[in-house]
Amino acid sequence: MAASGDIEQFIEQNRHLSDIVESFRTISESDKHWESRRAFIFRNINDYEDPHLDHLLALSMVWANNVFLGCRYSQDLLDRVKEMAKGIVVEDAPVFKTRDEIVKNQQKR
């Protein structure tokens, strides 16, 4: 993940906040998934303080679900979370194809 040094520096300077953010990790998240979602949360946490923290956590899940699981959402929502995630690079992120892309490739054969 790009800028991981920035995230680590932020964590060192904000240890209490870091402990709170760590409590948001779900039991099913891999290290790779969590590190990316954690970066998303840290990148945007100043814009979503209490009582709007739940909103940020939901947006972080939308972004992570789209990146790691290929979940689809409205274009407006995807544009918003992609903007919020600018600069976060997920190495070896899965690539998903839509049903239309798969059918189109099948028809070419």
pLDDT in tens, 16-49: 788 889 999 999 999 999 999 999 999 999 899 7
Report whether 63 contacts 81 (CB < 8 A): yes
Report whether 63 contacts 40 (CB < 8 A): yes
Report whether 37 contacts 60 (CB < 8 A): yes
The model's pTM: 0.80
Residue indicated by tokens 């699981």 = 69
Containing structural domain, residue 28: 4-108
pLDDT in tens, 59-72: 999 999 999 999 99
> Number of structural domains, the chain?
1
